[in-house]
Chain A
């Protein structure tokens, strides 16, 4: 603590004293020191983020950094809670002012919200550095160039990647040479022991498919099952039967003539059908911001070149390999000639071009991080409500004895389980409702009961632990009660008419799918859904606002009264 004190500047100590003497409630939240230390923590996070090594080929995952930083953040939050509950105006029966109580609550809410800046700052700093590795234009161009050449690479899982170990993943640069040599040696020994294989290998080693025509290729998405499986199974079947007929161990089945027949059939498939399957998806990193060429455009460009018999150009192939190698050391620069050879031989590419996929998608994600605050309203809603709940619990803890607080926590955890068990026992047989409905109604009724019990606090002559527990539970529930009620009204009683509208649409669709009223009804359903979402969100935030401004001081008074009442024994 002494070391921490040294980090606090003089002016802050002056503010500290002034707050203490003029605004004791705000002082008790320690918001001034909290903001200062948050500033230091965030500055430290920025420095750390700047020190972390970031390159095209290697950088940490910002999301993982965020997760790691949650550990010190939770530790800081615990420390903050410890500091924030130390000084308490209510437990010393200090003067009460409603606006001051509201101010205290808002300060605690914002304080807990700001704690989340610690993990965000580090992740964001690193993310922004990753995003800045390449300009948006350059990145989009590189991805498009890479994608545009993919048609010349037969990619697939059957290619043996010497860099990859199933247990340990990809080896580092230093390990590669050694592993390759060892593998070659082992392979040579195995080959020497094995009799010369007479088996024929399917072209492309399963990494590609045969199509009867370009038209068939273009329509593969809709008719994939029929086309691909039929022809490919047929082709594989010829190869397999031919290999079986050449099996010298099978004295009955061995028949080289029959094998030649089967292989001829396979040859006919290979000769007659173009060997094509271009999947660009793997190399299309998802991004809301970056405008890559869509798959359809890339395919069209490739098909144009393929159908026109345009030869493979070395330069774009080399460039694509260079781009892949820029983002992954595992992408091999084998040269355009070898790529052409592998394409002609219809074998999987040994360029390992897919190795850069993960890196590209992480960079695209990092570029999206710049729009994180706009892109993820759900995340911020969650954080805001989480910190609101934390502030609510903290304030409640400050204003009542710890014993009812703990009982309330346990009760809050146990009651839903009891309700669930009761619902499972009673559903349908005793109560003509499903288990979900029983649970929803039971929780709503419990909440109403707790609210009703609040009215008895005014007439109490002595402190009662059970009433304190009820006040605590009611306090936690009340900000969300309105939205919960609206949810029940919507789901169970269809107050917005969404179910009725859906039923109407369904009825019309069943009788006539082409009914001219359907588009308008669908549009109406969309608008209604948006309206319901707005209403739900508005009710949620309205409930929270009402709590902060009006109900929080009310609950504070209830706590204060309970704390001031004499004990019974």
Chain B
């Protein structure tokens, strides 16, 4: 029994994030066929939540929130009552490789300017999120277009092991969301139904799938709106809905959160994480972004591109584990002299002022706890602090 998921739901319902609670409840009911009777209730709960919440307003509170929570608790306890059946009839799938490439190179030459992406080795697996980061013009979009099958390569080998050999059939398993989505016609609902239907989801299954997607992604209130009536944030959510409604194996997103506010970014990335780790239909997600910290928070793997070369390609948690120094970003009432005084000259290996923050490099032995203590003891007040020792962010400032 996925006790941790039920515990997660109980904890969420005890807190204030009703949005996440209703979404996770839907996910759970969708992941296990044995919960098919509770699935409509979970969908309806989420739909009611979406309809109750005013656009742009904060989380629900008061009587309506209590009522929804009560209903959610009822569903959660009903799930918990089914116990071991969930384990036996669960749909959890083994992670599988859906894309891998070896030594892939793409060359561009125009107007005297030459650019080469790669060689790159990359593997994408279901249930994982891969973040592609790097400065502008370093080949992120090129790499993503290659993964999506939109762009040919000059050297190397690319395989989509789980996809059909026919290019058209293969494209039918890969969802691509461009940085600027193209205009679509008709209502959101029509588009979702059409997209699901042309991918073979017809009849009652079509309606179920479309409604599930609408409610799950918080689009209930927008079902009958058209392109010009949606904000750019909701256009992106619609694009995501249109892609996930037919359950692709690979989801490729180019700078998806660039135009979203902080809350929308968080919501969107949460959804991506839940989508990737779905027990029933795990998806491999690869996305590019400049919001490094947000991406690192959800990505399992990171590819850092610099001048077209993968400076780092590996797990997010494994980055620079054998480093000899730590790197911190600081901001507050401090300057070089005060820092050296507080930490000692031997602990300040490098100090760069980026204009916005100070980037401090220390020996590895000086961990964040020790650093904070030392600064506090020296009476230095910090308004910003971030440990980027194991973040690819520090690669932005390294010459390679």
Contact = CB atoms under 8 A, between A and B. Distances in A.
Interface of A: 17, 20-25, 27-28, 86-87, 89, 92-96, 461-462, 557, 560-561, 563-569
A94 B152 contact: no
A86 B190 CA distance: 12
Contact of A92 (B150, B151, B198): B198
Contacts of B168: 93, 96, 557, 560-561, 563-564
Given A564-B168, A566-B152, 6 more contacts: A25-B198, A27-B194, A27-B197, A563-B168, A566-B151, A566-B167
Interface string B199-240: 110110011000000000000000000000000000000000
A565 B166 CA distance: 10
20 contacts: A21-B197, A21-B203, A22-B197, A24-B193, A24-B194, A24-B197, A27-B197, A28-B194, A86-B185, A93-B172, A96-B168, A461-B152, A560-B168, A561-B166, A561-B167, A564-B149, A564-B168, A566-B146, A566-B151, A569-B108
B171 interface: yes
Interface of B: 108, 145-146, 149-152, 166-168, 170-172, 185-186, 190, 193-200, 202-203, 206-207
5 nearest A-B pairs in the assembled complex, by CB-CB distance: A94-B198, A24-B197, A564-B167, A564-B168, A462-B152
Contacts of A462: 152
Given A92-B195, A561-B168, A21 B207 contact: yes
A22 B206 CA distance: 8
B202 A22 contact: yes
Contacts of B198: 24-25, 89, 92, 94-95
A42 B175 CA distance: 44
A469 B346 CA distance: 69
A28 B197 CA distance: 11
A265 B25 CA distance: 120
Contacts of B196: 21
Given A21-B203, A21-B207, A94-B198, A87 B186 contact: yes
A28 B190 CA distance: 10
B353 to A, nearest CB: 41
A87 B194 contact: yes
A212 to B, nearest CB: 82
B186 to A, nearest CB: 7
Given A87-B194, A567-B150, A94 B199 contact: yes
A103 to B, nearest CB: 14
Contacts of A568: 152
A410 to B, nearest CB: 24
Contacts of A87: 185-186, 194
A20 B190 CA distance: 8
Contacts of A557: 168
A564 B166 CA distance: 9
Given A22-B202, A94-B198, A567 B171 contact: no
B194 A566 contact: no
A560 B166 CA distance: 10
Contacts of B199: 94-95
